[in-house]
Structure 1
């Protein structure tokens, strides 16, 4: 009996349960039982915080035309000559300050593994070995290509691809999907696929967000004067070109406020992580928290609804740089409310979204 080969020369299928189909000739390649893959995707992480690990990661990230859409003949000389000479040092120092030294990996990777394990347990409890749950990263490892290959080899004839971004943006959800479809282009036997839409207004996600706010505030001696909902920024131009990200962020904040039963003005929506000379979505978080302190709001809490897992932008940027801006302007009490991470309510919400996308397949 033959083992089919992929275009890369690897066995096409894996697993002890791979067998020759009924009524097939004896030399037919072995095929595993059909499964459905659920492939989670997040932004990515460097393999380490040393210079070369950071340079490889930043080069892949900042060379993505979905992230920086300037002409390559202008952008690449600047990226390769100036930015990638200096930035790996500063970014490496930032990663070092939050690195999970025990596991030898970034917090984003640690948390994504935990999310995947909980979702796998929940979905396998419901559907048994008919589903295969795994995760990949858009940049860095494990790569999207490698995980698509594993799923096809394991017999996944259908794949639900789930970018873990509550709000859609071209620079996040779209580029994750781009990479997924590039991986599919290399498969001889392509599975049927579904990509999960943004879930920014899903009641289960809003409930999970609200629960995290209620728990955090319930543990405080004094309620904060205002809650800052800080989202990752994108250039203002993207909104003008049709990207729905800004509108979806605003709706998430409104739904969260309504779910909490708060008044207008109790939550302010801001945007962080500005990069480059362009105007980005405003207000900028680092400036707005200082303005709130100067206006007399001495106690604030900050939540990051656009991030499904804590990462460099939350653990370092919010909890260090943005905190410093607030305190320097006279703020007294700064509370960062962690991302939903592998909280049970979050896992239940994500599992519900996945089940919605499995309808008709299982």
Structure 2
């Protein structure tokens, strides 16, 4: 390009006028930005979106990862579920924590799954977290517990959506903080920002506390919950289910936690054998219907009463045994009659090996 052409371009630029818009004056290393760019209001929902990306969604009661979840048969565990529902619906309970405990396989997860579903339908649900021991990311670690509960509180309780959203936008790293900081910053502070009282205390469900990685983490979770509801008057109820392991029982036996806890133990007083019989008979009936062609020549009731009674006895009050039997007998592409015979044979062999 010639010198004359370049001079014409420079003259044209000098004569150019620009109207409107925002300008940046650069003097040395300093920038002066005019306009509202730096003063924009936080975008609604960005904090909740961030939280959804870092919590343990698979630990929530209606997660696809838990599908199909353990769930109570409509005619089983009715007494214990009634006791828990009464406590949930009580407008002024004497205790704000309920500890449901019993041995492995007693049906704790199924009970809490049914309760979570009912609370969700009735608008009394705060959130849930179902711990798992299978090494699945997030489901065996206490670090994810309170951030996941906070996320559900924001979704289930409209009045908490804005304060939790704002908390995450103000500090997007809250999910990396300690469990205590998560509880205070995401949940306690959000409730304290409310200007009106709430109609009914929402219920938070924590299942399988004993499956959380580390005894210290399990005890710390209980300490945090105690502080939240007693010191900070957090308007939430907590249902916690676990096996009665020594360190958990020790924590609940402390005078502080004992004074705010209602205990429900899954023992013989709830008649588990009757419930297991109902569960087995209904399960076998379902298997019979699904395999109607194979079962055409089989006389009902199937299996005969002595076998059902034997299975109830072997269950020893544990629903997990009965559930395993039904899954084995009703396995797809297998003959249920042969499967039941094979299961009986295995049981006899194991009895001989164990000497019982």
TM-score in same-fold range (> 0.5)? no
TM-score, with length taken from structure 1? 0.29
- Structure with bigger strand share is 1
Identify the structure with the greater helix proportion: 2
Q: Which has the larger radius of gyration?
A: 2
